[in-house]
Every structure is written in structure tokens, then in C-alpha cells.
Structure 1
Amino acid sequence: MTRVTPTLVTFRIVINQPVPGVAYSLQAKDGQPLDPKSSRKGEPLSFSFPVGVAPGPKFSGDQVRREGPERRFVYVRIGQLAGDASSPWSRRMKIDIHDVGDALLALATEGEGGIEIAVNGTADDGSPACATVQSTRTVKPARQ
């Protein structure tokens, strides 16, 4: 069986309406916070990272986590988990990527751009959103 080299695609997570003053970060491969950021007034935060995409589709990369044979997702750490020891929150968002549509993946792997995933950073009660969050996905053109 021939092994296929994955195509690297830039994924960008945009957290709309993050809770002001709360730290958000990606989760590094070793489980630690990576690139922590916070919003002063609720302006969007974004995190970009490479993901290997192979037929199947199969996803790989330092930020890609797995659950079972198919589910792939990315963690966004919040509050204490993002490195802010003084935060009252210690949460993670789970953002699914295994269900990104074939049409978007085809555009992204053919060099048309990266995949942008937007999530709402604030829960209905005003605290940071956590657990598995709903998202919208688009392909953003590659920057010239």
C-alpha cells in the first residue's frame, strides 16, 4: 500500500465575540498553551496553523487531536488552561474538523486558500464558550 504525502493546508480559527480580558490559546502538542491571546473589548481573535490533509479525508498535525477512528478536532484552551493563572475559568473548546466538507477541502488542497473556521467565544450566560462548539467554515483566498 502506497503512503500518500498529506497536502499542507492553513487552518484559521476565528473566535468571534470572545469574553473580554480572558485568555484563549491553541493547545500545543505537549498539551500546553500555544500562542495565548486575549481581547480587550470583544474584538475577534484568530489562530492559524498547518494541517496535513490526505485522501479519506485524513487530518494530521500538531494541533489535530483524535477521538475514535474518524473524529478529528482542535482544542482552544481558555482562562487558566491558556496560561492565565488568575482567571476564574479553566475550559477548552473542542472544534471539529473531520466534518469539513469535501468541496472546501478540494478548494483548499488545490491551493485556492486556507480553511477558516469561525466560532462564537461567548456562551449564552456570558461566560467563555466551551465543550464542542458549533462553527461555520469557509475557504479564504491565499494572501498574495
Structure 2
Amino acid sequence: MARAEQRLINLRIVIEQPVIGVLHSLQAKDGLPLDPKSSHEGEPLVFDFPIRIEPGPKFFGDQVRREGPVRRFVYIRIGELAGDPSSPWSRRMKIDIHDLDNDLLDHAAKHGGVIETTVIGTDKDGTPTCATVRPVRRRIVER
């Protein structure tokens, strides 16, 4: 399918309850940190970025990573990987997008809005959440 036939949608990742003072960032196409930020008082961290979709659905974009023929996800870099060389953590969150509900995708593509995925940023042991992180909520929000 030609790139012109792909539909552009906007995604937002919200990290609730992040570890205060720990740098988080999207992972750029070249593997480097993108849009680094940290929570100063426990406020959520928000990352917005566009992706392209085509029927299947298939996902494309600078933040989209692939694993196998179907799995697509976005990395959130943490600590040292997010650009803080003094951090004791060097981790990544893996947030799946291949399992986004078709109704959310269709709504975002046809009517606009942002598909917001919320995850929890602090693990049970008090350290930054890492590895595959399950969303606690997915919804459409207006821009």
C-alpha cells in the first residue's frame, strides 16, 4: 500500500505515578532519547506523537518498533537511557500498540482526537516500571 493511502493518527502515552526526578523519554528512530522529561512532584508524564496506520491494521512511524510479523510497540527510555548519565537506572518500558482496539483506531482516523494509553510508572518495589507494561486505560481524548 502506498504511503499516501496510510491514515495518520495521534497517540499519547501518559505515565501516571512516575518515580519523581527520573528522566523518561520516547525512543527516537535512531535509538536516541526524544522529548526527555521528569516528574517534579509526582505529576504524570505525557508523550504525544503521530503514527500511520493501514488496513490490517499495520503500524508505521518514527516511534513504532517491531518484533515478529505482528507485534508493534513504543519504547519509553528511562534514566540513563533517557539521557541522564547519573541515573542509577538504565531501563525501557515497552508499550504495545498492535493490540489497539479497531474502534479507537477508526475513530481517531475518521474523527480526529488522540488515542491515549495510560500506564503506571512506578513498580511495586518503588523503582521505575520497565519491560512490557500493560495499559491501565485506553481512550480517545480531544486535542
Give the whole-Å Cα distance in 2 for the aligned partners of 1:66 and 1:40: 32
The aligned counterpart of 1:92 is 92
When the two chains are superposed, the root-mean-square deviation of aligned CA atoms in Å is 1.0
TM-score, structure 1 as length reference: 0.95
Alpha-carbon shift at residue 116 of structure 1 (Å) = 0.4
The aligned counterpart of 1:3 is 2
Alpha-carbon shift at residue 3 of structure 1 (Å) = 3.5
Question: Paired residues, what number?
Answer: 141
User: Would you say 1:38 and 2:35 are equivalent positions?
Assistant: no
Give the whole-Å Cα distance in 2 for the aligned partners of 1:24 and 1:54: 29
Which amino acid in structure 1 is aligned with residue 2 of structure 2?
R
Which amino acid in structure 1 is aligned with residue 101 of structure 2?
G
Q: Which runs of 5+ in 2 are unaligned?
A: none
Aligned runs of 1:67-82 on 2, under 5 Å?
Answer: 67-82=67-82
Contact 2:79–2:89 (CA<8 Å) still a contact in 1?
Answer: yes
Tell me whether 116-125 or 106-115 shows the greater mean CA deviation. 106-115
Q: Which runs of 5+ in 1 are unaligned?
A: none
Give the whole-Å Cα distance in 2 for the aligned partners of 1:3 and 1:45: 34
Q: Deviations over 1:107-127 (max 9, x none)?
A: 111123110010000000000
Aligned runs of 1:1-144 on 2, under 5 Å?
Answer: 3=2, 5-135=5-135, 136-141=137-142, 143=143
Extract structure 1 runs of 4+ deviating beyond 2 A. none
Which amino acid in structure 1 is aligned with residue 83 of structure 2?
G
Q: Deviations over 1:58-94 (max 9, x none)?
A: 1000000000000000000000000000000000000
Contact 2:24–2:38 (CA<8 Å) still a contact in 1?
Answer: yes
Report sequence identity in percent: 63
SS of alignment partner, residue 46 of structure 2: strand
Contact 2:9–2:112 (CA<8 Å) still a contact in 1?
Answer: no
Q: Deviations over 1:40-59 (max 9, x none)?
A: 11100000000001110010
Contact 2:108–2:140 (CA<8 Å) still a contact in 1?
Answer: yes
